[in-house]
Structure 1
Amino acid sequence: MNFFVTLSGRRIKQGILIVIISFFTALFYFSQSIVQFPVLSAKGEPKAIYKGEEGVALTFNIGWGDVQAEPVLKVLEEKEVRSATFFLSGAWAERHPEVVEKIKEMGFEIGSLGYAYEDYTELEDEEIRRDIDRSLEVFKKLDIKEVELLRSPTGHFDKRTLKIADDMGLTLIHWSLNSQDWKNPGVKTIIQNVRKVKKGDIILMHASDAATQTAKALPEVLSVLQNKDNLVTVSYMIANGRVKTKLIP
């Protein structure tokens, strides 16, 4: 009888151990599969997302101008592209409601590029907050709902910018691949810059009037990107895999 009790006790302990190991193994795999959105650092400091894990996110900044946005949209329409993210300045959106409506109708995601296209690192906290809030008010009037993404207008940001964006419920989006299209280096050079694309990249392009070669380069750029991976919006990329973030020293 003593032997039977001892043997049963061992089996019970082994069973419990197996259950515990199985539980933590399942927990590990589950944690790998759920949405991961590391906006905060270990110290609780907000970060800027610049790269994802799956897909390729094509993004366009529009800060000013009356000419280049339409040709870019026309190429996207002709190529039947429906997954892209447009970061619009509030001042531009306010002056071009018909183009904003077209961006919406085509199913593209819209994020904020602030309102007045100012360098946030040169503004006071309240000025940054006011500029972002003003852009959100414009989007609200244009019936753009649930704007959750922010790109710093000039690409420059600091810890203050990240903290303010986070406080306002916005995620700051940077990029991992710069097409350099705003420099107008030539169509071939823009395409060559984009050929460096890797899975998970967030690509920066422009549809402001300064970028006069973007629309011409875009058909080949799209071909390059679609051969690399699926085109996705930034939000889709964030919600469907791990993302990489930038820490500001």
Structure 2
Amino acid sequence: MNTFHTVNAKRLKQVALIIVISFFTALLVYSANTSSIAVFGTKDGPKAVFKGEKGVALTFNIGWGDEKAKPILEELKRMNVQSATFFLSGAWAERHPELVEQIVKQGYEIGNLGYAYSDYTDMEPEKIRQDILKADTIFKKLNVQEVKLLRSPTGHFDKETLKVADSLGLTLVHWSVDSKDWTNPGVDEIVENVGEAKKGDIILLHASDSAKQTEKALPEIIKELQSKGSFINVSDMISNGDAKSSLIQ
């Protein structure tokens, strides 16, 4: 009987020790993850950022159109939004140098959206590289220097896209909150979609002509997000952060 109790006591101590170790291991993992930048990536290769650890990042894609970008810029200025990131296609920037200049003057960051707004998952790596570099050449002609961020034009990317971006010294930026403004679901739904954002989120919006309701949704979006943290551009959001990854095949 005494032997039985001794064995059980030892067993209970072992179980208790395992539980304690497991608890602290889980706590360390949780702490590391909550202070990290969330990324997609290959196991040992380059990664695409989709979430940061501070602020809220408004990002706008512009691939085409002559009408929507300027009113959106004016609305951001009216609402005193001093930080945002605009991903521009090179073809659009080439046709609208005055709007590129306005984006820079308002203090917003510019990222590369490729040149021709093509799906990179349908392209060979060298073609992707050429498309990115063609856009970069346009930015340099427009005195936009040090473009360090890339967004895959259609939002689709794979490990080859990541490798090309990395070889060019670019960080591929996805998003964690999709406004779905390009589907024109109505101002209220756009605001509701973005209203889910939390600290560290990168929000996808559009300033192309296909997004007809974004301008009207912006005032409510901005008011909603101001309570969740300061607006910040993507580069500042992801600086000095450790990365965790989800595997991209």
Shorter-normalised TM-score: what interval? Answer: 0.7 to 0.9
Kindly, what percent of the aligned residue pairs are identical? 61
1:178 equivalent in structure 2: 178
Alpha carbons of structure 1 residues 90 and 246: separation in structure 2 relative to 1, 3 Å: farther
In 2, the alpha carbon distance for the partners of 1:196 and 1:221 equals: 10
1:47, CA displacement in angstroms? Answer: 1.1
2:152 equivalent in structure 1: 152
- 8 Å CA contact retained: 2:113, 2:153: yes
Q: Secondary structure at the match of 2:188?
A: helix
2:25 equivalent in structure 1: none
In 2, the alpha carbon distance for the partners of 1:246 and 1:50 equals: 11
1:16 equivalent in structure 2: none
- 8 Å CA contact retained: 1:94, 1:138: yes
1:37, CA displacement in angstroms? Answer: 7.2
In 1, the alpha carbon distance for the partners of 2:144 and 2:50 equals: 24
AA at the equivalent of 1:93: A
1:244, CA displacement in angstroms? Answer: 5.1
Gaps of 5+ in 1: 1-31
Alpha carbons of structure 1 residues 187 and 166: separation in structure 2 relative to 1, 3 Å: same
- 8 Å CA contact retained: 2:86, 2:108: yes
- 8 Å CA contact retained: 1:119, 1:154: yes
1:191 equivalent in structure 2: 191
**Does 2:88 align with 1:83?**
no
Q: Secondary structure at the match of 2:248?
A: coil
1:247, CA displacement in angstroms? Answer: 2.9
1:220 equivalent in structure 2: 220
1:241, CA displacement in angstroms? Answer: 3.8
Q: TM-score, normalised on structure 1?
A: 0.83
AA at the equivalent of 1:61: N
In 1, the alpha carbon distance for the partners of 2:98 and 2:244 equals: 35
In 1, the alpha carbon distance for the partners of 2:100 and 2:244 equals: 29
1:120, CA displacement in angstroms? Answer: 0.2
- 8 Å CA contact retained: 2:58, 2:85: yes
AA at the equivalent of 1:111: G
Q: Secondary structure at the match of 1:87?
A: strand
1:47 equivalent in structure 2: 47
In 2, the alpha carbon distance for the partners of 1:192 and 1:43 equals: 35
- 8 Å CA contact retained: 1:48, 1:172: yes
1:125, CA displacement in angstroms? Answer: 1.1
Gaps of 5+ in 2: 1-31
**1:111-126 superposed matches below 5 A:** 111-126=111-126
- 8 Å CA contact retained: 2:40, 2:247: no
In 2, the alpha carbon distance for the partners of 1:158 and 1:207 equals: 25
AA at the equivalent of 1:137: T
2:99 equivalent in structure 1: 99
- 8 Å CA contact retained: 1:52, 1:242: no
AA at the equivalent of 2:175: W
1:218, CA displacement in angstroms? Answer: 0.3
- 8 Å CA contact retained: 1:53, 1:242: no
1:39, CA displacement in angstroms? Answer: 7.5
C-alpha RMSD of the superposition? 2.0
1:58 equivalent in structure 2: 58
In 2, the alpha carbon distance for the partners of 1:178 and 1:89 equals: 19
Alpha carbons of structure 1 residues 82 and 123: separation in structure 2 relative to 1, 3 Å: same
Q: Secondary structure at the match of 2:227?
A: helix
Provide Cα deviations, 1:114-154, integer angstroms capped at 9, x if missing partner.
Answer: 00000000011111000000000000000001000000000
* Aligned structure 1 segments of 4 or more residues deviating by more than 4 angstroms: 35-43, 242-246
Q: Secondary structure at the match of 2:204?
A: strand
Alpha carbons of structure 1 residues 203 and 54: separation in structure 2 relative to 1, 3 Å: same
